[in-house]
Amino acid sequence: MPIEEAELVFQGYPTHKQLEIISSTRDPRKREELYYFVPDCTELIQLSSTEDMLQIISTSLGTGYASILIPCLSSDQFEEMIDIAVWKDGKLDERSLDIWLFELSLCDCEDLSQFLYRIDISILAAMLRGRFEINSEFLALMIESGTIDPSSKEIQFKDERSKHILDAIWAADENLFTRLLYEVFGLDQEDIASEFSASLERAKEKRDQRVEEKDRQMGVHVTEEQILQTVDLKKINLKDDEDE
Q: What pLDDT tens digit does each residue of the chain (244 aa) get?
A: 788 899 999 999 999 999 999 999 999 999 999 999 999 999 999 999 999 999 999 999 988 889 989 999 999 999 999 889 888 888 888 889 889 989 988 998 888 888 888 888 888 888 888 899 999 887 877 888 888 899 999 999 998 888 999 999 999 999 899 889 988 888 765 654 554 455 445 555 666 666 677 767 776 665 555 555 555 545 555 555 555 4
Cα gap 8→146, rounded to integer Å: 52
What are the angstrom distances between the C-alpha of 135 and each of 156, 189, 200, 203? Answer: 8, 20, 19, 19
Domain containing 205: what range? Answer: 131-214
In a domain, 164, yes or no: yes
Report pLDDT for 142.
81
The verdict on residue 87 lying in a domain is no
Quick check: helix, strand or coil at residue 208? helix
Overall number of domains in the chain: 1
**3-state SS class at 27:** coil
Task: Tell me if 182 is assigned to some domain.
Answer: yes
Report if residue 16 sits inside a domain.
no
Is 67 inside any structural domain? Answer: no
- Residue 89 within any structural domain of the chain: no
18 found inside a domain: no
**Helix or strand run (H / E) with residue 132:** strand 132-134
Residue 15 lies in a domain: no
